[in-house]
Amino acid sequence: MGPMPARVRTASSRVAQALAALDRASMRKTPQRVAIVRAFVDDVTHPTAQQIFDRLRRAMPTMSFATVYNTLAALEQAGVCRTLELDGAAGEGGRRFDPIVEPHDHAVCDRCGAVRDVPRHAQQSAGAPLEGFHVRAIDRIYRGECARCRSSSAEQSANSAEK
Ligand SMILES: [Zn+2]
Ligand SMILES: [Zn+2]
């Protein structure tokens, strides 16, 4: 991979690519699988399979968790989805699914577990070679407090200062 700027695909082309990936995996494009694809490609919150399942189950009560998980696994196999393993105390633990496969980093909030994308500059992605080790990927995780949690903690301390 060269130092090409990451081209971010549009959501509609992500849907088309993901549906093509199901074809290649010989998975029939059932209404449930199409719904999973559509819910997933626009989701920038890095959901777990359980979160996607919970969201779709209301509209599709017959959907099983296995259908969600297997569909996402097929997308990952096809390279149109990447996964991120997070361990943390703020409920962000577990396997998170990410529709953006271009190299990028993540920022995780210690308080609410929110995950956001951090763009990576070309020079950062070219890591120094490690002797005797082939680098497949570099995953950087920034940990701290998100804007929402920061403003709510500022509000709380303002409220307690008033008393
Ligand atoms: Zn937060
Ligand atoms: Zn991401």
Least confident range from 19-28, 125-134, 145-154: namely: 125-134
pTM, rounded to two decimals: 0.76
| Domain map (residue ranges) of the chain | 11-162
Q: Which ligand is nearest to the CA of 82?
A: 2
Instruction: Please tell me the distance between residue 101's alpha carbon and the centre of ligand 2 in angstroms.
Output: 8
Q: What percent of the chain lies above the pLDDT cut of 70?
A: 82
Given this model, what pLDDT does residue 62 score? Answer: 95
Q: Distance from the CA of 128 to the center of ligand 2, in angstroms?
A: 23
Q: Using the CB atoms, write b or e for 100-118: b if 16+ within 10 Å.
A: bbebbbbbbbebebbbeee
* Domain 11-162 = CATH 3.20.20.140: no
151-162 mean pLDDT: 79
Residue 145 has pLDDT above 50, yes or no: yes
What average pLDDT does this structure show over 87-109? 79
Let me know if 162 is exposed, middle or buried by CB neighbors in 10 A (0-12, 13-18, 19+).
Answer: exposed
pLDDT value at position 93?
Answer: 60
Distance 28 CA to ligand 2 centre (A): 27
Least trusted range by pLDDT, from 25-34, 65-74, 79-88: 79-88
Give residue 63's pLDDT. Answer: 95
State the Cα–Cα distance between residues 116 and 120, nearest whole angstrom: 13
pLDDT of 73 > 80? The answer is: yes
